Structure formats: structure tokens, C-alpha cells
């Protein structure tokens, strides 16, 4: 059976490795990215071409994949004058691998359906190294028939492919996951900062906390930075700030609110304003240490 043709937009660290994996597995690709050096790398590996516009990419593709930074960028590429919506074929499927606002995802899905095309939201777990080997965790959602249609391709990219239900459930689950994780890291980082400011030995604090139910991989990441000055959680304050902002917006869209998320978000925003955004999330420890009246 002929493999579907794939259009891929977003050749950052994760997206670029996903494309390399697809090329190794024999897929024909059309790609786009603002970084022309990354586009050139893809084309040099063979069986890939560059599109001049999202519309052209959509016209050439059975499956369109996004690995983009924000919902605003996704909407611009979908709805622009030369956008995906203008060129997508009947029966084609758009897969959004990024972390997007669920309400935006549902709106795009509705508009694609009116053109006879489908959509899957499929945010990712694990690292770019896993992406290169097709070993990602993929949280996929959308119409079940559409999911089954693209599942074989998703299984070429993910070791674990979870089906979560109706469109938007993937992005919702990813935002909840990141809310839990990043709130934990921010709280633990402040705990270590409080110990430092109070003159309490931070290694001893870790020894005590890790002997109880608070012990977790996140605590170890926070301890590694606060105690050992090793920054090894590969997720930036900028990314956490974006995701917590999206979680807050999602809660508002659901007609409720999360004071916990709003507090975490305000701390992350403050760290970004202090020009710490490129650092990994446990580095917010430094912000809390300096945050004195």
C-alpha cells in the first residue's frame, strides 16, 4: 500500500527530528519552516521538497502535520490568505502536535470539516531524541474514524499512541499535565529558596522531603539545581509560561478559574520579565531567592 504524502510545518528540535524519522521510514514529505538551514537539511536527506506557502503544502499532502509554538501561529498558518484551509484536499487530515488552546483546536476542526477534511490534536510527550527514533508518547484526539485513518502513521512516530476521545481532548490533557508538573516545580523551587533564605541546609531539606510522599522526579530536578547547580530538566520557563497561560485561558473558557494556576502563571511571567525565560523551569529558584522586600 502506498504511504500517504505528508506536509510538515515546524522544523524545530522536536519537529526536525520527527521529520528525520519519517524520512528514514520512507515517507515522501513537503516541508516548511522559517529556518531555511533546517529546510535544506531535510531536502538533502532526500524524498522531500519545500513548499512556497501553506496552501501549496496542503494541496500536495494527504496528511498535514504541525509542530509549532503557539495557537496564534497555528491559526495564522491555517487561516491566512495562502493558508492550509485554502488548499486542503477533501479527505486530508491535519495533525497538530503542538500544545494549543483547546477552543482554538475545536474551531479549526469545525472549519476543516466544512471542507471535507479531518483534524487530530496530538500533543507529545518525551524528548527530541525519542522523536528521532519514533519513540514519542502521543496523546491523540478527534473523530475516531479520522484517528484510525492516521493511526498507522502515528505509530511510526510514537512508541505509545493514546486515543483520548473527541477533538480537543489531547490538548486539554496536555495542558492539565503541564499545569500539574510546572506548578509542582515552581512550588518546590520556592521551597528550596525559602530554606536558603532562612539559613536551612537545602541538602538536608531534600533528604527529609525525599524520604516522604513528596519524593518525585520533579523534586530531584529542583534539588539538582537548587543544591547542586545542575539544570537538567529540559523545559524552559518560556514554555512553562506559555502553557500555564493556556491552562488559565482554558479554565476561563470552561466557565471557571484556577487560583493555583493563576499564581503559578504570575510567578512564571515575573521570571520571564526578569529575563530568565530561556532557563529551565527549576532555575526559577534564583528568582525566588532574589525576591525579597
The answer to whether 3 and 112 have CB atoms below 8 angstroms apart is no
Cell of 190: 520556592
Residue 266 to residue 245: CA distance in whole angstroms: 9
Quick count: other Cβ atoms within 10 Å of Cβ 170? 30
Do strands 29-32 and 136-140 pair parallel, antiparallel, or not at all (unpaired)?
A: unpaired
122: closest CA among 154, 94, 96?
A: 96
Cell of 64: 498535514
Q: Which residues contact 56 (CB under 8 A, 6 or more apart)?
A: 30, 82, 87
* Tally of CA atoms within 13 A in the half-sphere of 58 that contains its CB: 26
Which residue numbers are catalytic? 174
Residue 223 to residue 273: CA distance in whole angstroms: 24
Amino acid at each position: 500500500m502506498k504511504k500517504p504524502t505528508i506536509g510538515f510545518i515546524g522544523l524545530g528540535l522536536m519537529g526536525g527530528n520527527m521529520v528525520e524519522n519519517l524520512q528514514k521510514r520512507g515517507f515522501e514529505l513537503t516541508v516548511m519552516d522559517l529556518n531555511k538551514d533546517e529546510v535544506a537539511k531535510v531536502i538533502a536527506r532526500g524524498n522531500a521538497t519545500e513548499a512556497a506557502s501553506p496552501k501549496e503544502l496542503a494541496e500536495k499532502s494527504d496528511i498535514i502535520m504541525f509542530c509549532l509554538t503557539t495557537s496564534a501561529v497555528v491559526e495564522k498558518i491555517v487561516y491566512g490568505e495562502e493558508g492550509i484551509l485554502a488548499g486542503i484536499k477533501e479527505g486530508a487530515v491535519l495533525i497538530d502536535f503542538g500544545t494549543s488552546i483547546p477552543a482554538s483546536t475545536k474551531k479549526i476542526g469545525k472549519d476543516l470539516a466544512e471542507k471535507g477534511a479531518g483534524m487530530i490534536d496530538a500533543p507529545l510527550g518525551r524528548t527530541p531524541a525519542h522523536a528521532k527514533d519514533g519513540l514519542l508518547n502521543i496523546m491523540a484526539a478527534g473523530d475516531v474514524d479520522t484517528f484510525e485513518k492516521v493511526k498507522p502513521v502515528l505509530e511510526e512516530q510514537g512508541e505509545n499512541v493514546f486515543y483520548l476521545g473527541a477533538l480537543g481532548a489531547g490538548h486539554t490533557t496536555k495542558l492539565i499535565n503541564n499545569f500539574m508538573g510546572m506548578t509542582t516545580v515552581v512550588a518546590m523551587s520556592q521551597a528550596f529558596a525559602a530554606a536558603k533564605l532562612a539559613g536551612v541546609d537545602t541538602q538536608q531539606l531534600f533528604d527529609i522531603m525525599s524520604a516522604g510522599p513528596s519524593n518525585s522526579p520533579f523534586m530531584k530536578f529542583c534539588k539538582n539545581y537548587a543544591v547542586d547547580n545542575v539544570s537538567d530538566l529540559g523545559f524552559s520557563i518560556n514554555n512553562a509560561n506559555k502553557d500555564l497561560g493556556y491552562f488559565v485561558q482554558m479554565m476561563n473558557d470552561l466557565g471557571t478559574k484556577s487560583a493555583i494556576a493563576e499564581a503559578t502563571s504570575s510567578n512564571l511571567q515575573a521570571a520571564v520579565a526578569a529575563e530568565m525565560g530561556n532557563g529551565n523551569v527549576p532555575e526559577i529558584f534564583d528568582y525566588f531567592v532574589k525576591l525579597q522586600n
